Structure 1
Amino acid sequence: MNLFRTKSIEQTILEGDEPEYQLKKKLTALDLTVFGVGVVIGAGIFTVAGRAAHELAGPAIIVSFIVAALCCGLAALCYAEFASSIPVSGSAYTFSYASLGEIIAWIIGWDLLLELMLGASVVAQGWSAYLGVFLGQLGITIPEGIAYGSSFDLPAFVLVALLTLLVSVGIKESMRVNMALVALKVFIVVFVIIAGLSYVKTSNYTPFIPDAVPAEAKGAWKAPLIETIFGLSPTAFGVTGIFAGASLVFFAYIGFDVVATTAEEAKNPGRDLPRGIIGSLIICTILYCAVALVMTGMVRYDQLSSEASLAKVFTDVGRPGYATLISAGAVAGLTTVVMTLLIGASRVIFAMSRDWLLPPSFGKVNHKTGTPVRITVAIGTLIAFVAAFTPVGELEYMINIGTLSAFFLVSIAVPVLRKRRPDFPRAFTVPLSPWLPILSALICGYLMLTLPLETWVRFLIWLVIGFGIYFAYGYHRSRLARDPDYGERVIAEARAKSAQEE
């Protein structure tokens, strides 16, 4: 049983030229940066930041954001090296297929689906919450039975359905809508920073790092795994609170890696992908830290709201009109996040179908739109139902563990591929390799240990389901299983065609 069979980098790249699986190359560096900013600035800053400051870190939540950014920054360097060298759809899944082998690629692809699909569902729920706040400020009330937090969240369902139709039309058309909404969202975030400065009270920053206090025992299932392993007592605030806050606000950074899923649709991937990945992360980190500083300065951390917190801080200081504007911006801004995650999930499934790990007919591109319509509609339908029916707040940690596991494996894959293929040209390289990739893997591993035990159990169940699908279908039907000489033949044909053209 060869679970670690790999594709060559050359074969991986050439597969993107097959007519029935060929995506259109339309994206520029600006498109990719906007794409990254559009997905990263979302539910994390509009909702999670207030809850993390209130429950875990206090004003030191800004340090939590910096810690999370450092973790993501190291992973971003690894993603940038891979994406610029192997500009093919699928992100970490594709990179690992060329370095760590098929079984690891399947695990990463399965984890990415967990991140992207559940991420889209959670953000759709956050969008529904802000829509309720916004309409409420206009005197319009959504019926309780179909509103945010109900047994069927109709606004979240409708949002995902409409975005699925838009994404199916074409990547460039989606990007035009994305760019307009991202501009509005960034304007709102900058507005919060500037408008909020005049309401900041320096006394609210004292104590900057609140003293650690015993946290309410959550029971073995909800306690962080690291506490269960080492028998630690649960605490909130203090230094441990900062790291616990980093584990939670890590959710706010999820999405920069989605830029890599569109690698095959970039006009100049070697140059533009590193710019898009790293540039979007830097922009978002600066905005996040500024917003966190203003938010905790306007309202004392123990009085912050855990729901739609960015809007409610202005209501708390007597500016409900500002809160209405922010809610409107959040409704527009969170739309881009759901759309981007939907695109990312469809591209991961597309790459897995092209490798025949999933039914190959599923991933064929529609010649009119240049997008994998079947996959997009199927994924969009699933996300819509999860967003509508899943209890709010049950998904966030699952997204984090799926993302961190992918980051962990990508970080390991960088030095592995460097050793296996030192000859392959790389448009961008991680500095100080292998030490920075190893550090990235260690930080990701630690953050995974801070997640609750029940999250780990759910994650293991998800992996068992994934392994079941792989061994029942993918292991026996993948291209490498059906035609072991396929890669060499593709490369030989490409060389012959190139020689003919010359």
Structure 2
Amino acid sequence: MSFWQRALRKPDLAQTLQADHQLARTLTTRDLIALGIGAVIGTGIFILPGTVAATTSGPGITLAFLLAAVVCSLAAMCYAEFASALPVAGSAYAYGNIVFGQLFGWIIGWALILEYMLAVAAVSTSFAAYFRSLLAGFSLTLPQAISGSFAPAQGRYVDLIAVVVVLVIGLLLSRGLSTSMTINRLMVGVKLLIIALFVFVGCFYVRPTNWQPYLPFGAKGILAGASLVFFAYLGFDAVSASAPEVKDPQKTLPRGIIGTLIIATVLYMLVAIVLTGMVPYTKLNVADPVAFALNLIHQPKLAGVISIGALAGMFTMMMTMIYSSSRLVYAIGRDGLLPPFFGRVVHHLPNHALWTVTVIIAVLGGLVPLTQLVNLVNIGTLIAFAFVSIGIIPLRRHKQIENAGFKVPGYPVVPILSFLFCLLLMSQLPLETWLMSLIWFGIGLVIYFSYGFWH
């Protein structure tokens, strides 16, 4: 077997489909939608509708959210078909491994490891900042030494809250999915209740004149706004990581992925409509536009409740992403591209992979300043989206794969459009992001050719 034949070798399909039999199938459609909403709806719902309306789209921000959702749905449908045809752990990594070969699977997996871990680490620091401000409201403050990332010159050594919240989520997930899914559903319920409360109260303060002019920046403002809010929908792909732990995956997974996107779109649009109706869009370019609008209509107590919604949103996002990244690392270890330690299952759970991921994220969130690295989350996501989108073509041509479940409509136009749009969005990312990602993928290729290639 030549070098390239070995690098592009595809796994045995029957063996791959049976590889996760040790994992317990316990998740339902309701669990998957809660996971998806937990990942997609975070603090962004309280910020993006205001800031993008003020700077880019005006009251037409609702159309920008709708357009972004339509484009995002192209990739979502591709994920849904793969999840239906190949209900295995590893999400886009596993799909790439099967239809493109081992090397491409590794590249996608390495991109997803970057996306999940950096996203959670960054959100853990935001969670800590919100939590500290909540404590400050009760006249409680933490010592400077444990209130931020490692900066001895400024008297800071660790962001203790960021570390603790990640470890708590890891502990919950290690106890089994029934407990963690119950807590996740509860937190998602709190978040949705607070969003509904804002929409209900805000409706009484809407002034239709605030929606005039509706398109102050023209059609270009809608397109520019859609490109900015597109990233607000990222996270639905994490649902597909749960495939081997889902009941009736051919039906449940597509419902979970597409259901997540529909609910998220409705919520984003409702908040955007009410927010721009309450306050002239020109005043919304602030750090916390929803809280700003509530204070403006003399509802400061409700503005405080929004902070609880933000904390719940960040908690569920971290839970979903830690869960997904642990299943990804487990799948890569199961296939031998990482040491077999990561692919071991203990009591129906891949806890070796889970605790490895949890500890790394806790260290990143507690010690490392991440402001320059967050854009890498976007490029990691878009690379996975691009491979999954174009991968529908070889999936349909694969003679061994029979899919009686969901299939992308408008084949092959929809997968190709989704792929091209991912490339377009990647081209809009700054040069600095591309350079940092090349370093990351360089490290990944060194690991692959020094270990994974031989195992």
Match runs of 1:205-244 below 5 Å:
205-211=211-217, 239-244=219-224
Tell me, yes or no, if structure 1 residue 418 matches structure 2 residue 396: yes
Aligned to 2:329: 349
Query: Which residue of the partner structure matches residue 15 of structure 1?
Result: 19
* 1:70-469 aligned within 5 A: 70-143=70-143, 146-147=146-147, 151=151, 152-211=158-217, 239-304=219-284, 306-367=286-347, 370-391=348-369, 393-421=371-399, 424-469=402-447
Contact 2:49 2:271 in 1 (8 A): no
Q: CA deviation at 1:129?
A: 3.2
CA distance in 2, matches of 1:44, 1:472: 40
Helix, strand or coil for the counterpart of 2:205? coil
Residue 146 of structure 1, CA deviation: 4.2
| Change beyond 3 A, Cα 1:147–1:311 | farther
Root-mean-square deviation (Å): 2.1
Alignment check: 8 A CA contact 2:90 2:331 kept: yes
In 2: Cα distance, 1:364 partner to 1:283 partner? 35
1:440–1:166 Cα change, 3 Å = same
Instruction: After superposition, give the CA deviation of every residue in 1:425-480 in whole Å (9 maximum; x if it has no partner).
Output: 33111111111111111111111112112111111211111111111111111xxx
Distance 1:264 1:333, change over 3 A: same
Greater shift, 39-48 or 370-379, is seen at: 39-48
Query: Gapped runs of 5+ residues in structure 2?
Result: 152-157
1:409–1:115 distance in 2 versus 1, CA, 3 Å: same
Q: How many Å apart are 1:38 and its aligned residue?
A: 1.5
Give, as a single letter, the amino acid of the residue that structure 1 aligns with 2:171.
L
* Distance in 2, Cα, partners of 1:132 & 1:467: 40
Q: Which amino acid aligns with 2:317?
A: V
Given residue 102 of structure 1, which amino acid in structure 2 is its aligned partner?
Answer: Q
**Unpaired stretches in structure 1, ≥5 consecutive residues:** 212-237, 478-502
Shift of the 308–384 alpha-carbon distance from structure 1 to 2, 3 Å rule, reads: farther
SS at structure 1 position matched to 2:410: coil
Deviation at 1:10, TM superposition (A): 2.1
The alignment of Structure 1 onto Structure 2 pairs a total of residues equal to 445
What code does the residue aligned with 2:9 have? R
Residue of structure 1 equivalent to 2:154: none
- Any idea what SS the aligned residue of 1:98 has? helix
Mapped partners of 2:115, 2:42: distance in 1: 15
TM-score, normalised on structure 1?
A: 0.84
Q: Give the TM-score normalised by the residue count of structure 2.
A: 0.92
Whether the 8 Å CA contact 1:353–1:360 is kept in 2: the answer is yes
Shift of 1:423: 6.0
Query: 1:101–1:322: structure 2 CA closer, same or farther, 3 Å change rule?
Result: same
In 2, the alpha carbon distance for the partners of 1:270 and 1:110 equals: 26
Distance 1:41 1:210, change over 3 A: same
Q: Structure 2 vs 1, CA of residues 423 and 42 (structure 1 numbering), >3 Å: closer, same or farther? A: closer
Matches within 5 A, 1:12-91: 12-17=16-21, 22-91=22-91
Q: Aligned with 1:262: secondary structure? A: helix
Identity %, equivalent residues: 44
Quote the offset at 1:184 in angstroms.
0.7
Confirm or deny: 8 A CA contact 2:149 2:365 kept in the other structure.
no
